[in-house]
Amino acid sequence: MNHIMDAANRHCAFESQAFVLNVTGVMTDEIIQELGQGGSVERLKSGGGYSATVEPRGRYLVEPKEEGEGILYADLDFDSITDAKTIVDSAGHYARPDVVQMIVNRDP
């Protein structure tokens, strides 16, 4: 598994309490040939591709497709957003003006 993509997708979903639909590109030999030679093109390798659907608590709805092209299907349960907000509620109980306040000094 691509550990960087795994961590980024799951963190983004958990922190934002939202669904994350992630799709990365696939580099084929045909694309590399179209780009031509020179510069960084010589370092390109064919492969890649990482697609995933993550729910608001950071769990995959279907296992990620880690290589090549494909289609992932998932049913999104929007009630899970409410469930996730009981863990990380950035607009609810964390938003406490009695504990945190921002003061702007407008003096030059």
Instruction: Going residue by residue through the chain, which has 108 residues, state the pLDDT in tens, using 9 for 90 and above.
Output: 578 888 999 999 998 889 999 988 888 888 888 877 655 666 777 888 889 999 999 999 988 888 888 889 999 999 888 888 877 766 666 667 777 777 899 999
The whole-number pLDDT of residue 55 equals: 95
Phi, psi of 19 (to 5 degrees): -75, 140
The whole-number pLDDT of residue 104 equals: 92
Say if 108 falls within a structural domain.
no
The whole-number pLDDT of residue 44 equals: 77
Say if 36 falls within a structural domain.
yes
Give the residue numbers spanning the domain of 60: 3-85
Q: Do residues 66 and 22 make contact, with C-beta atoms less than 8 angstroms apart?
A: no
Say if 66 falls within a structural domain.
yes
H/E stretch holding 87: none
Rounded to two decimals, the pTM is 0.67
| Residues 47, 51, 57, 61, Cα dihedral to 10° | -120
Structural domain count of the chain: 1
Say if 35 falls within a structural domain.
yes
